[in-house]
Amino acid sequence: MTWILTGVAAMVTIISHTINRRTGDREVPLLLWAAVMGFVVLTALSYWASTTQNYGLDEVLRTGALGLLFMWIIRIGSDEKEGPLYMNKLLQVFCCTVIVACVIGILVYIFQPVNRAVGTFFDYRFHTDYWPNAWAEFLLLAWPILLYWILQDFKFNSKEDRSRVELLIRSIILGLVFGCLLLAYSRGAMLVFFAQIGLWAAIVYKKTQKDFPIQKVVPIAVILLAVSTITFLSVNSLRSQYYEVQNVQEKVTFTASEGTSSVSERGQFWAQSLNLALQKPLLGWGPYSFRFVQPQLQKDVLATSDHPHNVLLKILMERGVFALALFFVLIGIVSYRSAVVLLSKEVEVGTLTFSIRILMMVSLFGVLLHNMIDFNLQFVGIVLPFWLFFGMLMTYLDISSLQRVPARIARIVELLIATLLLIIALYEGGYLVVSSVGRLAEARGEEEVALVWYGRASGEFFKRDLLLSTAQIHTHRSDFAEAEKAVDAYMDANNQDFRALKRLGEIALIRGQKEKALDAYMSAYQKGKWNDLGVLLGIVEVHLAMDNKDEIQKLRPEIDGVIQKYSTAILSNTHFIAVSPNVEEFIAILNTMARLYPDDAPRYQVMAAKADHHALVERQRIESRPPGFLW
C-alpha cells in the first residue's frame, strides 16, 4: 500500500504542476509548506545516516508521499467553486468506506479466531497479524466525519423535529460504528473517545451557552447508546457460538491475558526512547530503528515493540530533534488557527462550515491523542485520511493573511521530490516482487529456487530480512562460507539486530570457530537477551565445547536470573511466549544446568516440567480452537 500511495502522490503532484497548472499554481502558506518539505528532507537524511538501513525506506516514501498530498489537498480546497464539491465527495467516499469496513470487521470477528474486532486491519496470510488498536484508532478518526454526514442538516438551534424512522436509521448506522469501537476492546481508544465527546460538547456549549439544545441531544445520545450496546451484545452472542468471547470485566480491571503489561511496558518504551534520543539527537537512529535498537535497553521478557507507542517520541528517537520541531510547527499552525476560528464570535453554530470544522477537528484531535499512547500511523488506511483531513481543515480557515510561498519555488521542489519518489518506488517495487517470489519458494521448501530469486533481488536497498533468509538457506546446505558472507553483508546495513549476531555465532560454532562463536553470541546477548533464549543457550554450549565450566560458574547468577524471569513469563504466557520456540530452548538450558549442578537439579527439573506442561496446555488450547471459517 505504501508503494501505491507513493505512485498516486507522485502522479497527482506531477499532473497538478504540469498539465493542470491551475491547481498547481495556487500558493500555500510559506511556514506550512516549509515545515512539510523540511520534515520530508530530514526524514530522508535520517534514513541516509541510519544504523538500520535495511528497514525504513518505506517510511521515507510514505512521509514524502503524504507531504505532497497534504499540499495538493490544500490547493484543491482553495478553489472556491470546485474545492468544496470535491472535498464533499471525498468525505462521502470515506464514510461509505467506513460502513463497509465495519461490516467486514463484524464478519471477521464472528467467524475468525481473533478475540477483538480488527475491522479490515488484518493480513489473512498470517494468523498473528491482527491489529485491533489500529482499527480502534481508525474509528476514532471516522466517527465524527460519519456523524457530520448523517446529521449534516440537523441544526442545534432548529425547532424542527426529525421523523422517528429517519432518526432511527441514522442512529443505527452511527450506533454500528460505536458498537464496532466497543468490540475492539481498546481501553486507550475508549478514553480518547470520551475525550473527543468532551471536546465537542465543550466547544458547542461555549458557542450556544443558554441555547444549548439539551432536550434534543439527550434523546439522540440515548438512542446511540442503546444501538451501540445492542450491536456489541448481539455480535458477541453470535461469536460465542463459535469462539470464546473476551470478558469485559477482565479487560477493564487489567486481569485479561496481557494483564498490566500493556501499561507498564509503555512507560518503559517512553523512557527508553528518550534515552536513545539523547544519544543521537540530530538525525536520530533512522526510520524504523526502534525495533532493533531498543532491545539493548530492554528490562523484561519480550517487552519490545516496533515503535515507542508515542508519535512524538518515535519522531524524536528515529528522526531527531529538528524533525520533531517541524512536526510541532506543522501540527501547531493548523491546530492554533482552528481553535481561533472555532471560538470566534463571528462563527455561528448552525452554519454548515462550523459543523464540519468542529467535527473534523474532533476527529484529528482523537487520532493525535491516541498516538500519544500508541502508534498506528504506519497504516496507510489511517495516515492517508488523517493528512487529507488535516489539509481540508486548513482550507476551511481564513489563510489569506498568511505569507505564501512563491508558486515557482514550490513547483520546482515538489516536482523534484515527486520524481525522486517515483524513481525509487519503481526501482524498489520490481525488486520487492522478485524477493517476494523467493520468499514464497522458501516457504514451500524450495531452497534452491529461493536462492536464485534472492540473488536476482540483491540490488535492492530495502532488503529487510532477505540476507538473513539467504544465510539460513546456505547454512542448511552446509555452505557456511556463503552463509557467513550473507550475514556480514546484513550487518553492514544493520549492526543493531541481535538476530544477525546469533546467526553468526551458530555458523561459527558449526565451523569449529569457538572464540568467534562466543564473541558473536555475547554481542547478541547484550542486544537481545530478553527476546531469544537461543542466544543464552548458545553461550552455554560454546563454553562447554571449550571446556570452560569455570566461565559458566561465573555466569550462573546471571543465567539463574534470566531463566527465572522466563519461567514467570512462560507460566503467565506473556506475549504468547508459551507457544514460541523459547520454551524448548528454556528446557534445554535447564537440563544442561541440571547436569552441571546435580545439587540444584531438582529445582531446574521442576522449572522445566512446569514450563513444558504449561506450554503443552497452551498449544493444545490453540490447536483445539475451531479454525477460521473465512480463511
Three-class HEC string of 405-460: CCHHHHHHHHHHHHHHHHHHHHHHHHHHHHHHHHHHHHHCCCHHHHHHHHHHCCCC
- Would you call 494 helix, strand, or coil by DSSP? strand
Question: Among the listed ranges 61-75, 239-253, 580-594, which one has the minimum average pLDDT value?
Answer: 239-253
Chain mean position to CA 158: 43
CA distance 607 to 571: 10
pLDDT score for 540: 95
User: If you search the block for the grid coordinates 440515548, which residue do you land on?
Assistant: 222
Residue 233 pLDDT > 70: yes
Residue 177 pLDDT > 90: yes
Confidence tier at 156 by pLDDT (50, 70, 90): very low
Question: What backbone torsions phi and psi does residue 52 show, to the nearest 5 degrees?
Answer: -135, 65
Alpha helices in 546-600 (DSSP H): 549-572, 582-596
* Interval 186-206: pLDDT, tens: 999 999 999 999 988 888 777
Residue 596 pLDDT > 70: yes
pLDDT score for 64: 97
Amino acid making up residue 484: E
Confidence tier at 502 by pLDDT (50, 70, 90): very high
pLDDT score for 400: 59
Residue 154 pLDDT > 80: no
pLDDT score for 239: 93
Residue length, the chain? Answer: 631
User: What is the mean predicted confidence (pLDDT) over 11-24?
Assistant: 88
User: What is the mean predicted confidence (pLDDT) over 344-362?
Assistant: 67
540 vs 627, higher pLDDT: 540
pLDDT score for 93: 93
CA dist 283 to 247, 464, 527, Å?
Answer: 44, 21, 22
Chain mean position to CA 93: 24
Report yes or no: 341 and 357 within 8 Å, Cβ to Cβ. yes
pLDDT score for 157: 47
CA distance 233 to 45: 50
Rg (CA), the chain: 27
pLDDT score for 164: 64
* Interval 401-458: pLDDT, tens: 678 889 899 999 999 999 999 999 999 999 999 999 999 999 999 999 999 999 999 9
Confidence tier at 393 by pLDDT (50, 70, 90): confident
Report yes or no: 604 and 594 within 8 Å, Cβ to Cβ. yes
Confidence tier at 153 by pLDDT (50, 70, 90): low
Residue 152 pLDDT > 80: no
Alpha helices in 320-400 (DSSP H): 321-342, 352-370, 380-395
Report yes or no: 593 and 211 within 8 Å, Cβ to Cβ. no
> Can you list the pairs that 564-570 forms with residues at least 24 positions away whose Cβ atoms lie under 8 Å?
565/300, 565/301, 565/530, 566/301, 566/533, 567/607, 567/610, 567/611, 568/301, 569/300, 569/301, 569/302, 570/611, 570/614, 570/615
Residue 352 pLDDT > 50: no
Question: What backbone torsions phi and psi does residue 359 show, to the nearest 5 degrees?
Answer: -70, -35
For 323-358, give one letter per residue: b (16+ CB within 10 A) or e.
bbbbbebbbebbbebbeebbeeeeeebeeeebbbbb
User: What is the mean predicted confidence (pLDDT) over 348-364?
Assistant: 72
Question: Among the listed ranges 247-256, 397-406, 490-499, 561-570, which one has the minimum average pLDDT value?
Answer: 247-256
Residue 346 pLDDT > 90: no
* Interval 267-319: pLDDT, tens: 999 999 999 999 999 999 999 999 999 999 999 999 999 999 999 999 999 99
User: What is the mean predicted confidence (pLDDT) over 532-546?
Assistant: 95
CA distance 471 to 456: 15
CA distance 64 to 424: 12
pLDDT score for 254: 59
pLDDT score for 83: 79
> Can you list the pairs that 554-561 forms with residues at least 24 positions away whose Cβ atoms lie under 8 Å?
556/593, 556/597, 559/589, 559/593
Q: C-alpha grid cell for residue 94?
A: 470515506
Q: What is the pTM of this model?
A: 0.92
Question: Among the listed ranges 7-21, 255-269, 512-526, which one has the minimum average pLDDT value?
Answer: 255-269
Confidence tier at 44 by pLDDT (50, 70, 90): very high
Report yes or no: 391 and 73 within 8 Å, Cβ to Cβ. yes
Q: What is the DSSP letter of 404?
A: B
Residue 155 pLDDT > 60: no
Residue 480 pLDDT > 70: yes
Task: Say what angle helices 352-370 and 321-342 make with each other, to 10 degrees.
Answer: 150
CA distance 289 to 317: 9
